[in-house]
């Protein structure tokens, strides 16, 4: 394959992947606790005389490697006044009980189910230090340390944890995260403070994502034009040489 054509195709493919990530971020700009995805790119130029990686044409001088990571920076916190809206000030995650085991989230728009269990919007139980959080009473308060008081009596505490950095987590949908390594251990989030009646928003900046979306779209169009030019040049060369 022509090296210029290969570079253009690589750029176009990476642009499509980046557009998908940016579109997904924009779709979650109003999702509580959402952490945006970021894509990283690296252009690799193989050394002279080195063997080309398996599956690539020998004349291709440029390889583009991409990886997606999660931006764990805190989103803006808004005041809702809702009893079961909880935000975390500092590093840490709420522990959630799912059918596949424990998961972790910063999405604190909780509610009570018919049994009095504190659950996520999707119905998964929020975990306390002794098991699922169950609340029976009308007057409920959460302290900064995560202690739960019902009718003025302390009944338990939220289980709030963190992980060693850099976080090795992946998204599993519904605002939940789980470790890539199932054997990883959690640590108590001693520096996280619970804020009742407040909600952490998405850390996606709509303006920044739109700027990147436009920039990536233009880059894709440029790669597309280059591919068309190379294709036209190749066709012309074949036709002209065939007349010689």
Who has greater pLDDT, 209 or 58? 209
Query: 199 near 76, Cβ under 8 Å?
Result: no
Who has greater pLDDT, 214 or 54? 214
Q: Reply yes or no on whether the pLDDT at 46 is more than 80.
A: no
Residue 244: Cβ-neighbour burial (10 angstroms; 0-12, 13-18, 19+): exposed
Who has greater pLDDT, 169 or 223? 169
How many separate helices (H) and strands (E) can be counted in the chain?
Answer: 2, 19
Beta bridge partners of 130: none
Q: State the pLDDT at residue 61.
A: 47
Who has greater pLDDT, 243 or 176? 176
Q: For the segment 125-173, what is each residue's pLDDT rounded down to a tens digit?
A: 999 999 999 999 989 999 999 999 999 999 999 999 999 989 999 999 9
Q: For the segment 76-127, what is each residue's pLDDT rounded down to a tens digit?
A: 999 999 999 999 999 999 999 999 999 999 999 999 999 999 999 999 999 9
Average pLDDT of the chain to the nearest whole number = 86
Q: State the pLDDT at residue 52.
A: 46
Query: 219 near 15, Cβ under 8 Å?
Result: yes
Query: How far apart (Å, rounded) are the C-alpha atoms in residues 205 and 25?
Result: 9
- Band of pLDDT at residue 216, cut at 50, 70 and 90: confident
Averaged pLDDT, 196-220 = 93
Who has greater pLDDT, 63 or 28? 28
For the chain, give every domain's residue range. 3-72+204-243, 77-200
Q: State the pLDDT at residue 87.
A: 98
Type and span of the H or E element at 89: strand 86-89
Q: State the pLDDT at residue 228.
A: 76
Non-local CB neighbours of 143 within 8 Å, separated by 6+ positions: 149, 194
- Band of pLDDT at residue 66, cut at 50, 70 and 90: low
CA triple 184-67-182, angle to 5 deg: 15
Q: What percent of the chain has pLDDT over 90?
A: 65
Q: State the pLDDT at residue 65.
A: 57
- Band of pLDDT at residue 57, cut at 50, 70 and 90: very low
Q: State the pLDDT at residue 210.
A: 94
DSSP state of 125: E
């Amino acid at each position: 394959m022509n090296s210029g054509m290969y570079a253009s195709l690589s750029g176009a493919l990476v642009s499509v992947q980046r557009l998908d990530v940016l579109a997904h971020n924009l779709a979650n700009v109003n999702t509580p606790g959402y952490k945006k995805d970021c894509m990283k790119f690296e252009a690799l130029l193989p050394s002279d005389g080195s063997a080309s990686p398996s599956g690539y044409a020998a004349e291709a001088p440029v390889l583009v490697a991409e990886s997606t990571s999660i931006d764990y920076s805190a989103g803006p916190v808004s005041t809702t006044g809702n009893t079961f809206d909880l935000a975390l000030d500092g590093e840490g995650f709420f522990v959630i009980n799912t059918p596949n085991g424990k998961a972790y989230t910063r999405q604190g728009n909780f509610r009570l189910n018919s049994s009095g269990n504190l659950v996520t919007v999707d119905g998964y139980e929020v975990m306390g230090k002794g098991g699922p959080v169950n609340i029976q009473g009308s007057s409920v308060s959460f302290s900064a340390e995560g202690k739960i008081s019902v009718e003025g009596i302390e009944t338990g505490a939220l289980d709030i944890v963190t992980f060693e950095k850099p976080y090795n987590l992946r998204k599993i949908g519904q605002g939940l995260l789980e470790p890539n390594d199932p054997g990883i251990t959690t640590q108590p989030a001693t520096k996280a403070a619970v804020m009742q009646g407040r909600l952490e928003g998405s850390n996606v900046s709509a303006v920044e994502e739109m700027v990147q979306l436009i920039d990536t779209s233009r880059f894709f169009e440029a790669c597309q034009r280059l591919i068309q030019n190379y294709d036209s040049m190749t066709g012309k060369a074949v036709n002209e040489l065939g007349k010689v």
